[in-house]
Amino acid sequence: AQTVTQSQPEMSVQEAETVTLSCTYDTSESDYYLFWYKQPPSRQMILVIRQEAYKQQNATENRFSVNFQKAAKSFSLKISDSQLGDAAMYFCAYMRGNEKLTFGTGTRLTIIP
């Protein structure tokens, strides 16, 4: 069974600085999708970024980018120029095709003004 591990329960970063959230996963598949979701205090889950395993290029969405290391099964999220609105729980998730999402346990990110 696929598993997703987020080893950092909590992280903090100064406003305007850069922070990296870690995620590793376990799978025997070669074709799959990886996602980062953000859950602010409102508890609405918001898609931040997605990565297809068959693409070597790392995905980027404005201040958010990933470092996808397929051989190492690592999928970290880098947030640049951190803003107060980035404070949230961040969940890494794995999906194979049109099957279920498997989530990690999350990292709580605090932004220090």
Partner 1 sequence: DGGITQSPKYLFRKEGQNVTLSCEQNLNHDAMYWYRQDPGQGLRLIYYSQIVNDFQKGDIAEGYSVSREKKESFPLTVTSAQKNPTAFYLCASSIGRDDIYEQYFGPGTRLTVT
What does the binding site for partner 1 look like in residue numbers (CB under 8 A)?
Answer: 4, 33, 35, 37, 42-47, 50, 52, 91, 93, 95, 97-98, 100-101, 103-106
Residues in the chain: 113
- Judging by beta carbons within 10 Å of its beta carbon (0-12, 13-18, 19+), is residue 21 exposed, middle or buried? buried
CB of 17 to partner 1, least distance (A): 26
CB of 72 to partner 1, least distance (A): 21
Q: Residue 86 or 104: which CB sits closer to partner 1?
A: 104
Cβ atoms < 10 Å from Cβ of 113: 6
Q: Residue 65 or 101: which CB sits closer to partner 1?
A: 101
Query: Torsions phi, psi of 33, nearest 5?
Result: -130, 150
